[in-house]
C-alpha cells in the first residue's frame, strides 16, 4: 500500500479505522502545525495559483476556534478522561486558540492510536510551546507506561529574540501502542565511542562482556558483540537550508530516516497524516517501506508528486494511488492528473460524489462509458450514461460517446470534462443530437449534455425537466428495479 490522500486527515483516519478496526500501520510520524496557521499561510500566499483562497479556508475551517466545540463534544463519547482534561483547560486561564489546537490534535491522535498495530510506534513532532500539553494528551490515549522517549532534535539557526537563550530545538514524543516484546526497535546511527572506550579498545569490536566505558557486563550478555553505543535521545541534525526548502516547515530527510530505520523493517508500513512536502514519504520510499501520506492541501500533494518523480523517475507513478474528495478546481485537477489509479478515482468522484450516479463495474478503454444514473420522468425510469475525461479531449471522443449512447439505447448522455477542454466542434456534435425533452413554452433539454468539472463544483448538475421529480442513484443502491442488461453488453 503506497497511497496519497488529500483532505482532512481526521476523515481519512476514521475511514481507515473503519476499514481496519484491528490496526494495520507499523509506524506513524506526524509533524502538525504548531498551534498556528502561519506556516501554511506562507505556503498558500507564495503559491502561484489562483484558487489558494479555497485552500486557506479549508485549512482555517479545520483549526477553527469555534468548531473545536463540536470536536470536544465528540470526544466525550470516545474517551471521557481525555474529554475532561480538555474541558478543564477550556475553563481555566488558557487561551481558546490553545484549547482549540489541543482538541483538534487530540481526536486525531485518538484515531492514530486506533490504526496502529499493537506492535506499532508513534512519533509526535512538536515545539516547546505545546509539547507539555501534548504529552498529557498522549499519556491519556497511549497510557503513560507506553511512553518511550522525549527526543530532542537540536539544530542551529540564525539568532533571534532578545534577553533569552536561543530556541534551537524541537521535541519529538515517542510512544509505543503497547508494551509488546514484538515491537520493532533497531539500533541505528550508533554513537561515537567515548574517549575512555577508544583509549582502552581502539577501533576494534568490543566483546560485550564490557560496556562502552570498559566496565564488566553481566554474564548473560558476554556472548554478544557490540559495534558501538546505542543512540541517545538528543539528536544533532542540521535543518534544511532555507534556499533548499520545498516547504516552509520541511524537515531533514536524515531525521525521518533515523526514525523509520529505528521503528520499522523493510516492507513495513509508515504513515504521516500531516505530510507537508513529503519528507516521510520520500524517506520511506528510499528505505523500501510501504507508506501513506495525507495532507489537507493539494499544493502539498503536488509537491510530493514532483519530489517522488524527481527522486525516482516516472516509474514511481505506478507505485502509488491518489485518493480524496476535491473541494476546488485545483484539487480536481490534481486528482485527474494522478497515476492510473488516480484517474479512476477521479472518475468515481465525478460520477458518485458529484453527480450521484453509479460507476461502470466494467472499466473500459476509450469508446465505452464510465457510469450512469437513473431518474423518473412521466412514470418511466430513464437512463443517462456518463463519460468522464481527465486528459486530452477532441470531437472524436464526443462522437464515440454519442455512438455508445445510441447503441445502449440510453435516454441521455452526459460528457464530463474540464472547461478548457471543450471545443466548438464538440459543442456542435452534441447539439446536433437534438433534445431529450422540449417544452415549447418553457425549456429545452439536450440529449447529449456537456457538463464541466467547474460547473459541478459550482453546484450544477445534469439538466432534466424540472416539473418531474428525479431520483439519482447513490453508490450504495444496487437494485433500481429496471433491466440494466443493455448497459453491460
* Structure confidence by residue, pLDDT tens digits, 315-349: 888 899 888 767 677 777 877 776 544 556 788 78
Which residues on adjacent β-strands are paired with residue 272?
293
pLDDT (0 to 100) of residue 373? 87
From CA 289, how far away is CA 126, in angstroms rounded?
A: 24
Question: 230, 260, 294 — which closes off a domain?
Answer: 230
- Specify whether 359 is located in the same domain as 250: no
Cβ neighbours of residue 46 closer than 8 Å, sequence gap 6 or more: none
pLDDT (0 to 100) of residue 441? 54
- Specify whether 276 is located in the same domain as 351: no
pLDDT (0 to 100) of residue 43? 40
Q: At 151, is the secondary structure helix, strand, or coil?
A: strand
pLDDT (0 to 100) of residue 378? 74
Question: 309, 338, 367 — which closes off a domain?
Answer: 338
Cβ neighbours of residue 200 closer than 8 Å, sequence gap 6 or more: 214
From CA 193, how far away is CA 112, in angstroms rounded?
A: 37
Locate 215 and state its grid cell: 566496565
Q: At 236, is the secondary structure helix, strand, or coil?
A: strand
Beta-carbon count within 10 A of 459 CB: 7
What is the mean pLDDT of each successive set of 10 residues along the chain, which is 489 residues long? Answer: 87 95 97 61 40 51 68 94 95 88 94 98 92 96 97 84 83 96 89 62 49 47 56 92 76 95 97 93 96 84 86 88 75 69 70 81 66 82 90 91 92 93 94 80 82 90 65 40 43
The reported pTM is 0.67
- Specify whether 165 is located in the same domain as 248: yes
pLDDT (0 to 100) of residue 211? 45
Helices (H), 349-394: none
Query: What's the CATH number where 458 sits?
Result: 3.40.1350
Query: What's the CATH number where 267 sits?
Result: 3.40.50.150
Locate 121 and state its grid cell: 510506534
- Specify whether 213 is located in the same domain as 76: no
Helix or strand holding residue 235 (H, E)? strand 234-236
Beta-carbon count within 10 A of 94 CB: 13
- Specify whether 177 is located in the same domain as 208: no
pLDDT (0 to 100) of residue 218? 55
From CA 426, how far away is CA 398, in angstroms rounded?
A: 6
Kindly calculate the radius of gyration of the chain based on its CA atoms and give it in whole angstroms. Answer: 28
Q: At 290, is the secondary structure helix, strand, or coil?
A: strand
What's the farthest any 2 CA atoms get from each other in the chain? Answer: 101
Burial string for 337-357 (b: 16+ CB within 10 Å, else e) reads: ebbeebbbbbbbbbbbebbbb
Work out whether strand 290-295 and strand 269-272 pair parallel, antiparallel, or are unpaired: parallel
- Specify whether 135 is located in the same domain as 250: yes
Q: At 142, is the secondary structure helix, strand, or coil?
A: helix
Q: Are 13 and 116 in contact (CB under 8 A)?
A: no
Supply the DSSP string of 162-200, one letter for each residue. SSS----EEEEEEEESS--TT------SPBPPPHHHHHH
pLDDT (0 to 100) of residue 357? 83
Supply the DSSP string of 267-287, one letter for each residue. T-EEEETT-TT-HHHHHHHHT
Percent of the chain scored above 70 by pLDDT?
Answer: 75
- Specify whether 383 is located in the same domain as 459: yes
Sign of CA dihedral 38, 2, 281, 192: positive
What value, to the nearest 5°, has the Cα angle with vertex 35 and ends 30 and 37?
A: 95
Looking up cell 498522549 gives 138
- Specify whether 202 is located in the same domain as 179: no
Please write the tens of the pLDDT for every residue from 263-318.
999 999 999 999 988 999 999 999 999 999 998 876 677 788 889 988 999 888 88
- Specify whether 139 is located in the same domain as 240: yes
Beta-carbon count within 10 A of 422 CB: 16
Question: 319, 338, 357 — which closes off a domain?
Answer: 338
From CA 302, how far away is CA 267, in angstroms rounded?
A: 25
First to last CA, the chain: 33
- Specify whether 318 is located in the same domain as 374: no
Structural domain containing residue 313: 2-185+232-338
From CA 460, how far away is CA 484, in angstroms rounded?
A: 26
> How buried is 11 (Cβ within 10 angstroms: 0-12 exposed, 13-18 middle, 19+ buried)?
middle
- Specify whether 211 is located in the same domain as 243: no
Tell me how many domains the chain contains. 3
From CA 154, how far away is CA 198, in angstroms rounded?
A: 26
- Specify whether 148 is located in the same domain as 294: yes
> How buried is 386 (Cβ within 10 angstroms: 0-12 exposed, 13-18 middle, 19+ buried)?
buried
Work out whether strand 371-377 and strand 116-126 pair parallel, antiparallel, or are unpaired: unpaired
Amino acid at each position: 500500500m503506497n497511497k496519497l490522500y488529500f483532505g482532512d486527515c481526521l476523515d481519512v483516519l476514521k475511514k481507515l479505522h473503519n476499514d481496519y478496526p484491528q490496526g494495520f500501520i507499523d509506524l506513524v510520524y506526524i509533524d502538525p502545525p504548531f498551534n498556528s496557521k502561519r506556516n501554511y499561510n506562507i505556503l498558500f500566499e507564495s503559491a502561484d495559483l489562483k484558487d489558494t483562497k479555497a485552500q486557506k479556508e479549508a485549512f482555517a475551517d479545520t483549526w477553527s476556534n469555534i468548531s473545536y466545540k463540536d470536536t470536544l463534544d465528540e470526544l466525550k463519547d470516545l474517551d471521557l478522561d481525555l474529554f475532561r482534561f480538555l474541558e478543564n483547560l477550556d475553563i481555566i486561564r488558557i487561551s481558546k486558540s490553545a484549547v482549540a489546537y489541543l482538541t483538534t490534535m487530540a481526536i486525531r491522535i485518538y484515531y492514530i492510536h486506533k490504526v496502529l498495530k499493537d506492535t506499532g510506534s508513534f512519533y509526535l513532532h512538536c515545539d516547546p510551546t505545546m509539547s507539555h500539553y501534548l504529552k498529557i494528551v498522549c499519556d491519556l490515549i497511549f497510557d503513560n507506561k507506553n511512553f518511550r522517549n522525549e527526543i530532542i532534535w537540536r539544530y542551529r539557526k540564525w539568532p533571534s529574540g532578545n534577553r533569552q537563550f536561543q530556541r534551537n530545538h524541537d521535541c519529538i514524543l515517542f510512544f509505543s501502542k503497547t508494551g509488546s516484546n514484538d515491537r520493532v526497535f533497531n539500533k541505528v546511527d550508533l554513537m561515537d565511542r567515548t574517549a575512555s572506550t577508544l583509549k582502552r579498545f581502539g577501533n576494534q569490536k568490543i566483546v560485550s562482556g564490557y560496556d562502552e566505558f570498559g566496565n564488566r557486563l553481566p554474564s548473560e550478555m558476554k556472548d554478544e558483540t557490540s559495534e558501538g553505543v546505542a543512540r541517545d535521545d538528543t539528536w544533532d541534525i542540521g535543518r534544511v537550508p532555507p534556499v533548499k526548502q520545498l516547504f516552509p516547515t520541511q524537515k531533514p530527510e536524515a531525521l525521518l530516516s533515523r526514525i523509520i530505520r529505528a521503528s520499522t523493517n523493510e516492507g513495513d508500513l509508515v504513515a504521516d497524516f500531516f505530510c507537508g512536502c513529503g519528507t516521510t514519504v520520500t524517506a520511506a520510499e528510499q528505505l523500501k517501506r510501504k507508506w501513506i501520506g495525507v495532507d489537507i492541501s493539494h499544493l502539498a500533494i503536488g509537491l510530493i508528486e514532483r519530489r517522488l518523480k524527481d527522486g525516482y523517475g516516472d516509474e514511481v507513478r505506478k507505485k502509488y494511488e491518489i485518493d480524496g474528495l476535491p473541494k476546488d478546481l485545483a484539487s480536481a485537477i490534481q486528482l485527474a492528473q494522478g497515476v492510473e489509479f488516480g484517474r479512476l478515482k477521479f472518475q468515481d468522484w465525478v460520477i458518485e460524489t458529484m453527480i450521484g450516479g453509479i460507476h461502470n463495474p466494467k472499466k473500459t478503454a476509450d469508446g465505452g462509458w464510465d457510469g450512469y444514473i437513473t431518474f423518473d420522468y412521466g412514470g418511466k425510469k430513464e437512463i443517462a450514461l456518463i463519460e468522464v475525461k481527465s486528459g486530452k479531449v477532441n470531437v472524436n471522443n464526443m462522437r464515440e460517446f454519442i455512438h455508445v449512447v445510441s447503441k445502449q439505447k440510453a435516454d441521455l448522455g452526459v460528457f464530463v470534462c474540464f472547461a478548457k477542454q471543450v471545443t466548438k466542434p464538440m459543442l456542435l456534435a452534441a447539439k446536433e443530437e437534438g433534445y431529450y425533452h422540449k417544452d415549447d413554452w418553457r425549456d429545452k433539454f439536450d440529449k447529449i449534455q456537456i457538463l464541466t468539472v467547474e460547473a459541478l463544483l459550482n453546484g450544477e448538475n445534469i439538466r432534466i425537466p424540472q416539473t418531474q421529480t428525479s431520483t439519482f442513484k447513490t453508490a450504495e443502491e444496487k437494485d433500481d428495479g429496471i433491466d440494466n442488461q443493455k448497459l453491460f453488453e
